Chain A
Amino acid sequence: SYEVTQQPSMSVSPGQTARITCSGDAFPDVYAYWYQQKPGQAPQLVMFQGTERPSGIPERFSGSISGTAVTLIISGVQAEDEADYYCQSTDRSHNSVVFGGGTKLTVL
């Protein structure tokens, strides 16, 4: 079945830029979505269709697509951005949804 893969963890200092990448053979033919999950909370959609930001999400969050990889970019990282980030896409051939394993972002 289709899979999307993410790096398990990364760390950045406040003010730096974090780039979290998700790889999948079906990109860019299918959309990618990104979710932020803080401890004890439900996930929150922070990017849809690869590059679109939902209302209420800070402008420092952006997305890019390059070949079979999609990237969530957090510019000027703040302490409150420390969280797990999940990539999500669809497996059209199996009518299913796939999530990446998640990336734990640590703000030093």
Chain B
Amino acid sequence: QVQLVESGGGLVKPGGSLRLSCAASGFTFSDYYMSWIRQTPGKGLEWVSTLHYGGRTIYYSDSVRGRFTISRDNAKSSLYLQMDSLRDVDTAVYYCARATGGEAFDYWGQGTLVTVSS
């Protein structure tokens, strides 16, 4: 069955960096767009970034463009999110999700919590 497992979350100071990982299994990873979506505790969902299955095309939300970098390793069936220049407002649970047709998020991981605080 499809599984997505995020890791790498934790507590970081403003201005710091963190790298999230998402290990995928149960499907042909290289056939799918993959995305990161975040959710501030007690609030709604916010799309962060989407990466083409071959890595050729990348999309970012305005709130993270220039600070976050999405990447993937199809040989390892893994998705990554390098987060730099972190701000308090980046505090959230970060979900890895498979994007069917590039638009619909049909499978999600359990999420990893990132807390940005001094």
A98 to B46, CA, bound (A): 7
A31 and B105 contact, CB distance less than 8 A: no
- Interface hit among A18-26, A58-66, A73-81, A88-96: A88-96
Q: Is B103 an interface residue (CB 8 A)?
A: yes
Q: Is B59 an interface residue (CB 8 A)?
A: yes
CB-CB under 8 A from A44, the residues of chain B are 108
Residues of chain B at the chain A interface (Cβ within 8 Å): 35, 44-47, 50, 59, 61-62, 95, 100, 103-106, 108-111
A33 and B108 contact, CB distance less than 8 A: no
Q: Is A99 an interface residue (CB 8 A)?
A: yes
A42 to B5, CA, bound (A): 12
B41–chain A nearest beta-carbon distance, Å: 12
Question: By the criterion of a CB under 8 Å from any partner CB, how many residues of chain A are at the interface?
Answer: 22
Taking a contact as CB atoms closer than 8 A, the residue among B44, B62, B103, B109 that contacts A42 in the complex is B109
B49–chain A nearest beta-carbon distance, Å: 9
CB-CB under 8 A from A27, the residues of chain B are none
B44 and A96 contact, CB distance less than 8 A: no
Taking a contact as CB atoms closer than 8 A, the residue among B45, B47, B108, B111 that contacts A96 in the complex is B47
